Every structure is written in C-alpha cells, then in structure tokens.
Amino acid sequence: MRYSYNKVIIAVAVCALAAAACASRPTKAIKAAEQAILDARKVKAHECAPKPYEKAENLLLTAREDEKKRDYDSAAAHAVAARKMADLSIEAAVKNKDCRPGGSAGRVLDRMRQRVAESEEQKPAETEQTPTPQDKTAVLESIPEEYARSVLPGGEILKMIHFDFDSDKLTLGAIEILKKNAALLRKYPEVKITIEGHCDSRGSTEYNLALGYRRAERAKDFLIHLGIDPSRLNTVSYGEERPLDPRENEEAWAKNRRDEFVVE
Amino acid sequence: MRRKIAATAVMMFLLFAAIISIPRTASAQIHIRVDKFSSEKFNIAVFPLFDVGRTKSPSVAKRIENRLNWCLDFTGLFRRINKEGFLEKPKPKGWKRENINFSDWMLLDALGLIKGWFKQSGKNVEFELILYDVFLQRALLSQRYSGKVEDVEKLVDEFANEMLKVLTGARGIFGTKIAFVRKVKGRRGWNKELFVVNLDGTGVRQLTRTGTPTLSPSWDKTGKRIVFTNFPPGHRNAAPYLLTFLTGGKVSIRPVKLFNYLANAPRFSPVDDRIAITLSRDGNEEIYIINTEGRLRRRITRNIAVDVSPSWSPDGNWLAFSSRRSGFNHIYKIRSSGVGRAIRLTYVGTDNGSPTWSPRGDLIAFSGQDRRKHGGKWNIFTMKPDGSELTRLTWASGDNEQPWFSPDGQYIVFSSNRRGRYELYIMRNDGTNQRPLSARGVPGQMPCWGPRTTTGGAE
C-alpha cells in the first residue's frame, strides 16, 4: 500500500516537471478542432467534400498523437491546421452544389448556399488550400488561439494592435506592430488580408460599430502609407459583438479594443 | 315616476357638472389624464362574469378575467379592488344597469366597474363586457364579442384597447408585438439573432438564423416589415437587411443593399418607406436617407465626428441622432430635409445614445451614461423635443439601455441587466410601473415596439 502511494507521488512529480518543462498542453486548440470537425459533419462535409474533410481528421489524429508524445508545439500547430481544414471542408461542401444530402444537413447547406449567392461579390473559388504545417520548423511556437486566422504561409503571425478607450488613434506600440506587419505583407505579396476593428462593451452598440470601422480604417490607411497595395486590404467592423474576453473589467476591455489582421 | 324624477335629477346634475367642468375637461365623465404624472390610481372593480349558458366552464371565465386584470395592471393606471370585499352577489342579469346598486360600489371607492356575462358552446365563446361609471351610474362602454375559445385573450385585448380610448382618449396597445435581438449559440459561437414576442411575453419566435451579429431592428409603419443590421457572408461590413412577413407565418429576408462600407442602424420612417441610416462613406459616419432598394435619397449630416442612431419624429420632418462632435456622445436633432443645422439637445453625461422619438411627439427618450458618475451605468432618460425637462427614469438598477416607445407613446420598452442577464422591461413613460415583460423574463436587447397594425411575428 505504502509502495503504491510512493509510485503515485512520483508519477505526479514527473508530470508536474514535464508540464513545467514543456509548453502548455494545447487542449483548447484540439477542442476547437474537434468542434470544427463536428460542425463539418453536421453539414455532411464528409460526403460533400471528402478530401478536405479527411485531411482535417488526419491532422487532428496527428495532433492527438503529438500531444501523447508531449510534443505540444507540434500538436498545437496540427490542431490549428485541422480546424482550418475543417472550416475549409464546410466551405467546399457549400460550393459543391451537386451534393444534396437530405435532412437538417441539406437544409443548413441550402441556407448557406443561398447566403453565398446573395452576396454580390462572387469570389473565384480558392484553388490553393491553406498550407499544412508539414515543415515543423516553420511553426516555431504554438500559435495562440486568437491568432489562428492570422497565420501567413510561412507560419509567421500578423500581430493585432490595441487602442485606448473610445479612441481610434494609433498608439506608438500599434505603429511599431503595423510596421512589422507591413514588412511581412511585403514578403508575401500574394496575401490579402481583412482588418477587423473591435471595441470593448462600453459605449452604445451602434456607436461601437462605427468606432470599430474607424479603427480598421486607421490601420488600413497606415499600411497604405507604408506602401501596401490598397486592393490587398479589406476592412470590417464587428463593434462590440466579437470580444476576445467576454468579462467586464479593465483587463478584458483593453484586450477587446483591437484590430485583428485576418489572412484571407 | 320615481325613476323619472331620478333620471331628471341625473340629467340636471350632468348638465351642471358639464357646465362647471368645461374649462377643465369639457366632459363630466371620468377622464384619466396620461399627459402628466399622477400617483393617483383609478379604482376599478372587475366583477366575476355571469355564466349565461350554465355550461359550467369556469376556465373561460377565468381566462377572460385574468387577461382583463393583466391589461389593467399593465397600464399602471388602475388599482383593482379586491374581490373579497364585493358586497354584491352574482345574479342573472346582474350586468344590467338597473340591477346594479351603485351606492354599494361607491362604498368601496370604486370609480369604475366592469361587469359582463359569457356563454360557451363547444369551441366558441360569446361574451359581453360593460364598463360602468359608478358616479354617473351609466355605461361608458359596452362591447359584445364572439369567437373561438383560443382567441379569448385577443378579444379581451380589444376590449381593453377600447376601454383606454374611452378613459384616456387614446386607444390601448394590447395585441402589439416587440421585435428584439437575443444572444444565441450558433455554429460559430455566440451571436445575436432577431426575435419577436407578444406584449405579454408569450409567443417568442426566432426570425433569423444568420450566424452573424444581428442588430438594430426597426419596424415599418405597416408592421409587415423589419429593417435590421446584419453581416453579409464573405467578411464584409454590416449592411441593412429587410425582413418581410409573408402569409402562413413565413418570412423572407433580403439585403436592402450591400455597401462597400459600413451601413449602421437603419430606421424606418413612421410616415413612408424611407430609411434613415448611418453610412461610413469615406471613413466618416454621416446620416443619410435611403429607400428600400438602398438608393441614396439625401445626405443629412456634415461633420467629421461619428453621427449614429437616427430616429424619426412622428411627422417624419425631424431626425434625432447621437453625435460625438462635442467630444462626447450627445443627442442632436436636425431636419430630415437636410436644411438647417443640427440642434444640440443634451449637455450632461458622456455617452448619450439610442434616441427614440415618442409617436405622440411630446418626448424623446435615450439611454445615457456618465463615465465619471453613476459608476458608469446606463440609464434611461426622457426630455422634450427641445431638450428641456430632462428626466431620469431608471435608478440604481443595473444597466438600462435602448428605449423604444409604444405606438401610443404611453410606455417605453427597454433592455436591462438588473437581474443579471439583459432582459426586456416595460415602464410608463414617466418611469413608473417598471416590470419585466413576463415574470420569468424575456432575455433580449435592442427592443423595437411594432405598430398597432402589426400582422407578422409571433403566434
């Protein structure tokens, strides 16, 4: 009995050491990937878009294996890629108009197709799919959840910028980040981005939507000033509707007042 | 003979009363003033309905009575006299004027008395409700209804509306609906979607499943369409969308127009099909008027600051809006013809938004907060359309936001988190009788009260 206790204590100690030594376990990223794959199944992406769907599942499996091997960096990268691939499979399922599953999946698909048809701007189908992180060295660190949409083809991240309360002025810190982002955008001239403007929850909802737009436009103007082609820069405001941190305190508000740079 | 004398006496009294009261109300009959604050409530007795058909169907009588009581309480104008104290016993033809002993009711301090009968036959019901003026000893209103048992509440709403017309001069708003947005969990996490609900909190119905934020609903004057803000697919800025109620409970939704910039907070005009909206053309928010196809009709504001949340005056000649031109957000008004300058209406607070013009034209309500006071909480205020008589309506009860007037201008629906989550609340336009839409609460934000003619929406 005493012996087995010792064993447990040793095991716990080893685990604690391992956790301290390595990067943190990417449970969140894997959960997100699992959810995305579940969502893809809901619209029958495994039938309508089997290729990307299978790729997503394989990526998730790799991520889980990596996690078992305690290679958390790699696991996070694969999980993020799996999520992106699952999202892509949904898009592909929507585009594959010949595929008409019955039941709720069919209805959901029809609705999504209708919405795509409604949009004026019919973008040509993307031929190139998001690169999977085959090259582990490219993904140097596990990508934080909030940057999953801001990864460039080489694995670099377009960092977000933050604003002062009720202000659309670019802070000195924001200007430094924008300069770095501009350099990255010059490195990948084919990449187009959407600048998302966000606000904290104070201020009225309708005012915040306007403020978020101004924040996105400010960053766009500055990137154009740094020589980035305006046709590569789209702006959209989500106002207070997409907080990074839903809490109501100074820390959360500061986090939520931001521009995100999303790679299209 | 005696009755004749009594009648003559009453006539004389009436004439006399009419003469002495001409300067005040020009009518001897009870009149509830709704244009100014009064803590005095109107005492009213609702006598149990008499079962004419002797069908022993107390449930219908109960429903009629409950609905009537709910309507009376909703208005905040009445104090219902407790049934336990009634001196009269139910009797056949007890609802007839000659069978009522009005002095009994005077003893109870009742000013009004509602009596009636009902008859149920199968799935149909017939009933009559009579409102008596206890002091004049005569009927002010007598209405007979017949219909399906399931529609009993609607029929009682009809009576309550008529009754308010008699007592206050303006028809009631029972039977109207409220559109609002609510946070729901969708495929991509939490989003606000468009909903509609009956005035009593029943019949909640989800109208959109867009998976993107849905905001700022506004009903058109017919009650058949709602314009609101939504995000088109493909990472584009918010645009106005138009929802139309079709027959059979179906709805159709189409974008008014997808602009290449942000289009925010559309509002239908109360007199025609124009929509006031904030467009971020050239990166600067200005108020414009567009039509339902999205064609620009007129630019209204010219200022480098953010101008948002336009709201029409009832005649369609003015727009109230929120502008940051002074450095903080304040309420302004401007002619919808675009002629003339914006007139500033508020000077206190730091974030005054969501202005809304009463359909009576006598008040503008808005939600405001002062970052430096009240602990940064939102509260509802009203003022005259010239900015005078600023009145705070909500006190120490969490955040209270996004007011919208009822079609008769007597009530304000708003969103409050006083019980934790954001729920819909209703109060009188003087801030009295604040209550959640239903006891259990209707979670929601950005409420918009539909017109009296609302056809679509909840079941």
Question: What residues does A162 pair with on adjacent strands?
Answer: A258
**Highest mean pLDDT: which range of A24-28, A95-99, B87-91, B167-171:** B167-171
Residue of A nearest to B327 (CA): A166
Q: How confident is the model at residue A105 (pLDDT cuts 50, 70, 90)?
A: confident
C-alpha to C-alpha distance for B287 and B264, rounded to whole angstroms: 9
Residue to mutate among B308, B354, B366, with most A CBs inside 10 A, is B308
Whether the CB-CB separation of B377 and B364 falls below 8 Å is answered with: no
Name the residue facing A204 among B254, B261, B309 (closest C-beta). B309
- Put simply, the answer to whether B216 touches A206 (Cβ < 8 Å) is yes
CB contact A244 to B (< 8 Å)? no
DSSP assignment string, A210-223: HHHHHHHHHHHHHH
pLDDT score, position B1: 53
Whether the CB-CB separation of A155 and A139 falls below 8 Å is answered with: yes
Q: Which amino acid is at A63?
A: A
pLDDT in tens, A108-156: 777 778 777 776 454 444 444 444 544 444 454 577 888 989 999 988 9
CB contact B343 to A (< 8 Å)? no
For residues B222-247, average pLDDT: 94
CB contact A46 to B (< 8 Å)? no
Closest CA to B425 of B379, B376, B456: B379
DSSP assignment string, B366-385: EEEE-TTSGGG--EEEEE-T
Q: Is residue B64's pLDDT more than 90?
A: yes
C-alpha to C-alpha distance for B309 and B268, rounded to whole angstroms: 12
* Percent of chain B surpassing pLDDT 90: 72
CA angle B452, B455, B459 (to 5 degrees): 110
**Highest mean pLDDT: which range of A244-253, B18-27, B306-315:** B306-315
For residues B271-295, average pLDDT: 93
Task: Report CA torsion sign: A180, A183, A187, A193.
Answer: positive
Q: Edge-to-edge strand order for the sheet containing B411-416?
A: B400-405, B411-416, B423-428, B435-436
pTM (global) more than 0.80: no
Whether the CB-CB separation of A59 and A81 falls below 8 Å is answered with: yes
Q: How confident is the model at residue B22 (pLDDT cuts 50, 70, 90)?
A: very low
Instruction: Tell me the nearest-neighbour CA distance from B290 into chain A, angstroms.
Output: 18
C-alpha to C-alpha distance for A206 and B283, rounded to whole angstroms: 16
Name the residue facing A204 among B229, B280, B353 (closest C-beta). B353
- Put simply, the answer to whether B354 touches A206 (Cβ < 8 Å) is yes
CB contact A31 to B (< 8 Å)? no
Give B 220-249 residues with CB within 8 A of chain A.
229, 231-238
- Put simply, the answer to whether B233 touches A235 (Cβ < 8 Å) is no
CB contact A194 to B (< 8 Å)? yes
- Put simply, the answer to whether B235 touches A210 (Cβ < 8 Å) is no
Per-residue b or e along B287-302, where b marks 16 or more CB atoms closer than 10 Å to that residue's CB: bbbbebebeeeeebbe
- Put simply, the answer to whether A209 touches B262 (Cβ < 8 Å) is yes
- Put simply, the answer to whether A210 touches B192 (Cβ < 8 Å) is no
- Put simply, the answer to whether B322 touches A207 (Cβ < 8 Å) is yes
C-alpha to C-alpha distance for A112 and A119, rounded to whole angstroms: 11
The SS3 call for residue A53 is helix
- Put simply, the answer to whether B283 touches A214 (Cβ < 8 Å) is yes
Give B 394-413 residues with CB within 8 A of chain A.
401-402
- Put simply, the answer to whether A202 touches B376 (Cβ < 8 Å) is yes
Between chain A and chain B, the number of residue pairs with CB atoms below 8 A apart is: 111
For residues B206-223, average pLDDT: 94
Whether the CB-CB separation of B356 and B366 falls below 8 Å is answered with: yes
Tokens standing for residue A228: 């980035």
Q: Is B12 exposed, middle or buried (CB count within 10 Å of its CB: 0-12, 13-18, 19+)? A: exposed
CB contact A204 to B (< 8 Å)? yes
For residues B266-289, average pLDDT: 94
Name the residue facing A236 among B235, B264, B278 (closest C-beta). B235
pLDDT score, position B188: 72
- Put simply, the answer to whether A213 touches B262 (Cβ < 8 Å) is yes
For residues B250-277, average pLDDT: 95
CB contact A236 to B (< 8 Å)? yes
Q: How confident is the model at residue A85 (pLDDT cuts 50, 70, 90)?
A: confident
Name the residue facing A205 among B232, B278, B446 (closest C-beta). B446
B-chain CB neighbours of A86 within 8 Å are none
Closest CA to A252 of A237, A240, A235: A240
- Put simply, the answer to whether A116 touches B233 (Cβ < 8 Å) is yes
Neighbouring residues of B177: CB distance < 8 A, sequence distance ≥ 6:
B196, B197, B198, B199, B203, B223, B450, B454, B457, B458
Residue of A nearest to B191 (CA): A241
